[in-house]
Structure 1
Amino acid sequence: MLEEVFMRGDGLDALRIALALLSLAAAIAYQLIESRPPSAPRTGLKTAAIGLLVPLPLLALGQGPAVPLILLAAAFFFSSAGDLFLALKGNARNFPRGLAAFLVSHLFYIAVMIPLASAPDTLALKAASLAVGLGAIALYFTLAPSLGKLKLPVGAYLVAILVMALSALAIPEGAPFLGLGAVLFVISDSVIAIDKFRGGVPFRGPIVWVTYYVGQALMAASLLTLLAA
């Protein structure tokens, strides 16, 4: 899968590899300072981890369908914007701004994946889809008493990420890690929500960041493989 993403022989392979390595380096560096107080380097590293992936679909234009590749770049961009808002502290509005940015990101992911999706064709995928769906419903009703005015925005976000994950799980052929990446993304956001609205989650920082970044990386590699094959 990695060879199909990075080694295309079009003269841009080195740039693709450099962007991926810089993204990974930013993600690791952010995790190392994640527990420190907010600062410009901390915010920059968190934003850059996914922001550096934005050019990858655009570098594949001409090797695959243009619209899905542009939509995928937009999904990465709005995820990075969500990271930026969530990294900024001191303004209560930054959380809903981050929520809105990630909601838009999920909508772009859905637009990319729905045309590729079909009904899950194995018992494992059907079980995973059912578990994700039931988990999302249980999470919402667990959080609902603490959401206040955010009930509707959080509900809308939950529906979007659920559809995104189910779409990923419905694309088994040629993308064995796509569904896993989406589920990790869901786990990351669920931990954030539980921590914010229901109380502290032990080891919240590393759990959220590792599942989020690995999930996004698996989705990126899988979708780039599918779209620019």
Structure 2
Amino acid sequence: MMLNIRFTLLDSNNFFQQGLLHVLKDFHDSLNECYRLYSPLTPVELKAVENIEIIFRSQEERWGCARCYHSAYQTPHHRQMTVMILDEKECCTLKSPAQFSINREDSVAMVRQKLRLAVEHFGHHPWASLHASGLYYCQRCRIARLSSCEKKVLKLMSTGMSASTIADMLHRSQKTISSHKRSAMRKLNVNKSTELNKMLLSQMGLG
């Protein structure tokens, strides 16, 4: 009897992918050996990870995020565990629980340890993985969270209009327009107007 755990790698670094695949194969083999030899005594958390899919993903926009991910195995969302692949800079900025992320600089032993802890944690608290995966949104999903009013304000701002001009055009107060802007910046995960301006230059697919 074997544990059916699937692994999906969403990362552009082929060299890193190949190394990670070897680690995952060894990890999966060790889990199955434990499951085969000690099945009646297998920890509850190990039995609870049967038929899950573990998705390793970087923050590259091309891979989207956990919210818009469609499993090639048709794994239900609640049976998916997302593990973020981070570099040193991203480790400092992403608010993600450590047990659901690995660092590109991690040793093989560290990756195995983090993965073991993540699997154990998922077995006891599968909801925690859903929460962790929801902490990162790709740009497409961030834009989808914007209200129609926020999209309209940002689209007008992308043409170079000031908040006061937009307020006059939409028959709203300048305070309301500024509120829409602040709300949109929070959803888009930008902290400065200069960052927002860079995004507006590309129109962001606001439609």
Larger radius of gyration: 2
Which structure features the higher share of strand residues?
2
Which structure features the higher share of helix residues?
1
